[in-house]
Structures are given as C-alpha cells and as structure tokens.
Amino acid sequence: MLAIDRFLQRNFLLKEGGSFNTFRLNVHSESEEVYGCYRFRQLAGQCGQQEMKLSSKERRALGGFFRTSAALIQLNQILFVDMAPSLQGYLNFNVCGIENEEVAGCGGVLRDMEGVGRALFSGPIAANDADSVEVGAVFIALDLLLSMGWKINSSLIVEIGSKMVYNWCLNKDMRPWSLQITFSDIERKIEQVGSVVFLMADQKGNEMASTLAIVGINRGDMFKAC
C-alpha cells in the first residue's frame, strides 16, 4: 500500500532545516521497471540512502509522479514531489470515488500536459453510493485547483471513472434531485476555473486516483497536497 501521509515539496524541507542532496531516477523501458536511488537529509538530521525497484504495475499506478530531476518516492514510507507551477498547456485531473459497506473515500491527482503530478487529494467523504462519492470528488478537485491560485491558459480536463457521473456532468436533465445542490456548487467552480472538459477515464489512466480513493476510506480527514 502506498502511504501518502507525507507529500512534501522541496521548499518545505529546506524551510524546516532539511536538505536535498542528490536524486537519480532511471527508467528502463525494456523491462518496464524503475530503479531509483536517492540520498537526502531528513528533518531530524539523519541521512538516508536507499535503492528501490518498482514493478510495472506500481510504475503505472504512480504515473506522472516519476520525474528524473524532481521526484522522490519510497513505497510504504514517503512520497515527495518537487512541483513547479507550469501553466503552459492543459491540466488533467483524474478523480475517483469508492463506496464500500457504508464507508466511502475519494481521491484525485492533477497532472500537467507532460504527465507530471502537480497536486492530489485523498480522504473520506459522506455519500450514499459510489456515484455520489465521485460527484463529491469532482467538486473537491475543482476547489483544490482554485485554491492553488493558478490561471490556466487552456482547458482543465477532468477524467471521471463512473459512466453515470460522466453523463450527469454533461447533461443537467439527467442529474438526480438529491445532488442538485452539489452540482450547483460544481457549476460555480467551473465558472471560476474557466474552460473545463469532462472525459471518461480509461482504467489504466485512473489507477492513481483509484489508489488514493481506497487509501482515503481509512483516513481520518481529507488530505490535500499542492
């Protein structure tokens, strides 16, 4: 299971007295496995160095968070990404909502046009079914983007895993009465963002958002990183 309790930017580590020494990440396309080696000074002042080997499934799940010069990922312990706000081109927000035995979680990951991770969220959400959860995830995604203060010069693409929710987003007449208030809030967020395009997500492309939604079920509160 991927732990996301720490999703720290480099500036935060430096501010808190840490230092980022070296990081190297090599992708071997032949075997579809990733080998990474990092060395950094933790906040407590200790140095750590570790090599990691990720399977092709893990690599796909983590998707755009692999970047040769600006990512640090250690399974089960820490997820670190140094994100510079590049606003050129479109942004893509994958969202997912999961409901299981009266508990629900949602997750989402924002990537730029190069596939680099820019933000994410994961946490529990109050909803009656999986489709309602995913509607809530759409709202959270838009709200998180707006909180970042970015001015997008192109479209925001929101990829949704649920066919039903996708249809609701496109067709107002299909939306259930119980979710009218939520969709009204979503419409207001869309007006603030500007251009928003909804698409159906393919299964592989939504793996990271799905993982964040599963993790979110067991979280005490909503986790956001940007």
Q: Tell me, what's the pLDDT at 144?
A: 93
Residue of 38, 94, 92 whose CA lies nearest to 67:
38
The pLDDT > 90 percentage for the chain reads 29
Which region among 21-30, 93-102, 173-182 has the lowest average model confidence (pLDDT)? 21-30
Task: Quote the tokens at residue 137.
Answer: 């995830």
**68-85: pLDDT as tens digits:** 223 333 332 333 333 333
Per-residue pLDDT band at 112 (split at 50, 70, 90): confident
Neighbours of 142 (CB within 10 A): 24
Give residue limits of the domains in the chain.
7-81, 91-225
Which region among 126-130, 163-167, 207-211 has the lowest average model confidence (pLDDT)? 126-130
DSSP 88-116: SS-EEEEEEEEEETTEEEEEEEEEETT--
Which position has the token pair 């991927």? 2
Per-residue pLDDT band at 56 (split at 50, 70, 90): low
CATH of 91-225 given 3.30.420.10, 3.30.750.24, 3.30.360.10, 1.10.260.40: 3.30.420.10
Per-residue pLDDT band at 185 (split at 50, 70, 90): very high
pTM of the entire predicted model: 0.61
How many H-runs (helices) and E-runs (strands) does the chain carry? 6, 12
**134-173: pLDDT as tens digits:** 999 999 999 999 998 877 777 889 999 889 999 999 999 9
Neighbours of 59 (CB within 10 A): 15
Greater model confidence, 67 or 135:
135
Asked if 200 and 159 count as a contact pair (C-beta separation under 8 A), the reply is yes
Residue 179: pLDDT over 90 = yes
